[in-house]
Amino acid sequence: MEFSGCYEPERPGNICRNAIPRTRLASTGSKLGSSKGFSDRSAPNWAKTSMSVGTSILGKPLSMVVSPPQKRGHFVGPTKRGRGTKIMAIADAAGLPVAFDIHSASPHEVKLVETTIKRRSVEKPSERKIGDKAYDSDPLDDRLEQQYGSALIAPHRTNRKKPKIQDGRVLRRYRRRCKVERLFAWLHNFRRIVTRWEYHAENLLGMVQLGCIVILLRFF
């Protein structure tokens, strides 16, 4: 029995160089370089402006100046939550990694399952795979049954229009899906995986592989 899931690393935060620390801000309504604020000698060249402080810096609101930059790199795609990368993983009954891969965050998980299965480290896939509601897809069930002989166990979505094909007896195994969530919790112990710092996708995949190797060595 195998469990599948995905995870999106967060983007690294950064502060814009045009942001002035609050401790050096003049009072609201005063001007940079005036006698009420700090002098021109103590302010850097990029901070010498006639814009009033407290409400904006260099003509931009404080929330825009201090906002983190957009993530860039290979396998980075737009989503409703912003740009990101997906880490797909398949765990066995003990929660140990069996297959993993990285993809852009734009494609749905249903389109990435078969690619992740092909990167498995075991010779033969299991007879059953368990996923969450995102894997509720009848075409995916048929492809996995024909190509690998595996049955996909996933609860139906609330807005499903087609007739239900999963009954309560089969969905009892869904309670064990916490094993793949525990695998992602173990991967959260590695800083290079929680936040993506690598520009190239090969480097990020290498960090995920090293993290999975460390997890496997703890049990063998």
- pLDDT, one tens digit per residue, over 2-33 is 666 776 676 664 333 333 333 333 333 344 44
Domain extent listing, the chain: 2-12+72-217, 17-66
Give CA–CA dist 67/52, Å, rounded. Answer: 20
What pLDDT, in 10s, does the model give residues 137-181? 889 988 988 888 888 888 888 888 888 877 777 788 888 888 888
> So what's the pLDDT on residue 48?
44
CATH of domain 2-12+72-217: 3.30.420.10
- φ, ψ dihedrals at 38, nearest 5°: -95, 160
Q: How confident is the model at residue 37 (pLDDT cuts 50, 70, 90)?
A: very low
The pTM (predicted TM-score) of the whole model is 0.65
Q: Which letter, b or e, does each residue of 171-210 get, where b requires 16 or more Cβ atoms within 10 Å of its Cβ?
A: eeebeebebbeebbebbeebebbeebebeebeebbebbee
The pairing of beta strand 60-61 with beta strand 56-57: antiparallel
> So what's the pLDDT on residue 216?
92
Give CA–CA dist 19/4, Å, rounded. Answer: 43
Between the CA of residue 29 and those of 16, 25, 53, 55, what are the distances in Å? 23, 11, 7, 9
- For range 85-109, the mean pLDDT: 89
The partner residues of 78 in beta bridges, in order of sequence, read 83
More confident residue, 45 or 133: 133
> So what's the pLDDT on residue 36?
44
- Mean pLDDT computed over every residue of the chain: 74
